[in-house]
Structure 1
Amino acid sequence: MKSFDHLVTEQMQTMEKLLYLQGELERCEEIEEQLKMLQQETELESLQMEIANKKNELREIHKIFESQTEEVIRSYQEVNVSV
């Protein structure tokens, strides 16, 4: 019976280690998922910065286009006034 008790005690200790390691593994997996999400957020932030840059670039091109349009209109008016 002593041997049985000893085996059961060892098994219980092993079970405690197993449960502890399982809990640690789950905790690590949760942290891993959070890190993955953070990586995606970093990619999202990068994408948002790229979008903001493209919007600024688009505004600048739009200003140039408007300026060119005004210049074309002035030039057209000058040619028609001269005729």
Structure 2
Amino acid sequence: MTNLERYFGTPEAAMRMEVRMMRDGRRFKISLSECNPFTTCAFESRWVRDFGSWGEYLDWLKAEYDDGTVRWEDE
């Protein structure tokens, strides 16, 4: 499963995602957060990752999703 499939693969999953594009002078940043609708407060989001360029963001979308359970043999 790629990051694109994990975070944007269904309409329900895509509705939870917040993608912000920010520019500060010449610097550019993309910030990705996942909103949790099942909270007692009005709004809660979990930061997923920041990107410094569109290319970095697109590479991450195409990469395999890593939930932390993958272990390499040399570890």
What is the TM-score normalised by the length of structure 1?
A: 0.16
| Greater RCO, CA 8 A, separation 6+ | 2
Which entry has the higher C-alpha Rg, 1 or 2?
A: 1
Report which of the two has the higher share of strand.
2
